[in-house]
Amino acid sequence: MRPVRPNPMNLKIAVLAGDGIGPEISEQGVAVMQAVCQKFGHEVTFTPALCGAAAIDAVGDPFPEETFRICQEADAVLFSAVGDPKFDNDPTAKVRPEQGLLAMRKKLGLFANIRPVETFDCLVHKSPLRQELVSGADFVCIRELTGGMYFGEKKEGADYAYDTNAYSRHEVERILHVAYQYARRRRKHLTVVDKANVLASSRLWRKVAQEIAEQYPDVQTDYMYVDNAAMRMIQEPRFFDVMVTENTFGDILTDEGSCITGSMGLLPSASTGEGTPVFEPIHGSWPQAKGLNIANPLAQILSVAMLFEYFDLAAEGKLVRDAVNASLDANVRTPEIQVEGGEKYGTKEVGSWIVNWIQQA
């Protein structure tokens, strides 16, 4: 349980802008957070730190010890994105930007990734799915973040390779409790996603989930194979309220879920656990757009809303969400979601409009 926080608060935020479009959207997230804190009387201190390709270029480490220290000493991390083509296109590279993201999660003990999937009425036409399917879709994907194949034993030979998908009862129990707590605060419906008909690790997941379900009799629990869940998300996204799954499945399903809204640039996420929580957009670094002032900052800005809500600052979070909705309704949007014939706005212009709306609200 999180400690009760004073209001107004003194917030210390580590800012990890990262690579590609990261610095551009990070600037807008910081500006929005600053505007909200000023309005509510909170003191906020931002400390920048290196990560990803920028950190590799500077010190040879995608998550340097100095960055880890800054994150440990902060109340929260506002993270943007990592990744660079010079590493993507080099299969021999021993150090990669994404290793910094994995290291951050592991060192901070962030085992629960929270990804809400929510549609915006004015943007349902942008979804690749029919409007009647996606309208009103509102669910949360909870992905286990520090176990499974991403962290299991690996071996590569000239003609073979393997990844180990290992989980312990403790790892499964703690993420399930997080999922049930979210379900209790929402519509009391949890879907446990696994592949128990094939994978031993999934059979452990299902066994533990069936045991823990007895502790939450007020929550309806479903069990669904991952292939079925992937189809159901497309066929009937409104079926889901909260879904929980292991690391690899969660990575794939949450990216699929982002398509329901019509743009990955609209969805924030939170990674929580034992240490400093991290709040970030779900999209990548989009290096092709770097410096072009076209990246959508809304996912980063909505990550700020999640940050406030994590500290039980509901009014502050609502103000951010209201400002984002107002910008969408006013057609103040970056190119990928702008209405046909609408005025063109860049990353900076959308961020400035939202900051101004907050200041005048």
Is 225 catalytic? The answer is no
Active-site residue, selected from the candidate residues 75, 150, 180, 182: 150
Question: Closest Cα to residue 246, out of 145, 163, 170?
Answer: 145
68-90 mean pLDDT: 92
Is 227 catalytic? The answer is yes
Three-state SS at 117: strand
Three-state SS at 119: coil
140-166, pLDDT tens digit by residue?
Answer: 999 999 999 988 999 989 899 999 999
Residue 316's region, left for phi above 0, alpha for psi from -120 to 50, else beta, is: alpha
Active-site residue, selected from the candidate residues 88, 255, 290, 348: 255
The dihedrals phi and psi of 175, each to the nearest 5 degrees, come to -75, -35
Is 255 catalytic? The answer is yes
Min mean pLDDT across 168-172, 257-261, 292-296 is at 257-261
14-27 mean pLDDT: 97
51-62, pLDDT tens digit by residue?
Answer: 999 999 999 999
Residues near 136 by beta carbon (within 8 Å), at least 6 away in sequence: 119, 238
For residue 207, pLDDT beyond 70? yes
The residue whose two tokens read 């009014």 is 315
The share of the chain scoring above pLDDT 90, in percent, equals: 79
- Report whether the peptide linkage leading into residue 281 is cis, meaning its omega lies within 30 degrees of zero: no
Taking 3-state DSSP, the helix, strand and coil percentages for the chain, each rounded to the nearest 5, stand at: 50, 20, 35
Give the whole-angstrom CA distance, residue 300 versus residue 13.
14
For residue 12, pLDDT beyond 90? yes
Question: Closest Cα to residue 320, out of 31, 78, 81, 42?
Answer: 31
Confidence of residue 203 (pLDDT cuts 50, 70, 90): very high
Go through the domains of the chain in sequence order and give each one's CATH number.
1-110+274-361 (3.40.718.10), 112-266 (3.40.718.10)
Check residue 115 and give its pLDDT: 94
Check residue 2 and give its pLDDT: 52
Active-site residue, selected from the candidate residues 61, 167, 182, 195: 195
Cα angle 242, 220, 177 (rounded to 5 degrees) comes to 55
Check residue 264 and give its pLDDT: 75
Active-site residue, selected from the candidate residues 227, 312, 318, 344: 227
262-291, pLDDT tens digit by residue?
Answer: 777 888 999 999 999 999 998 899 999 999
Q: Do 212 and 182 meet the contact criterion of CB atoms below 8 Å apart? A: no
Is 19 catalytic? The answer is no
Check residue 5 and give its pLDDT: 58
Q: For the chain, give me the number of helices (H) and strands (E)? A: 13, 12
Give the whole-angstrom CA distance, residue 353 versus residue 72.
33
Active-site residue, selected from the candidate residues 216, 251, 310, 345: 251
Write the DSSP assignment of 8-52 as a string of letters: S-EEEEEEEEESTTHHHHHHHHHHHHHHHHHHHT-EEEEEE---H
Is 150 catalytic? The answer is yes
| Furthest CA-CA distance within the chain | 63
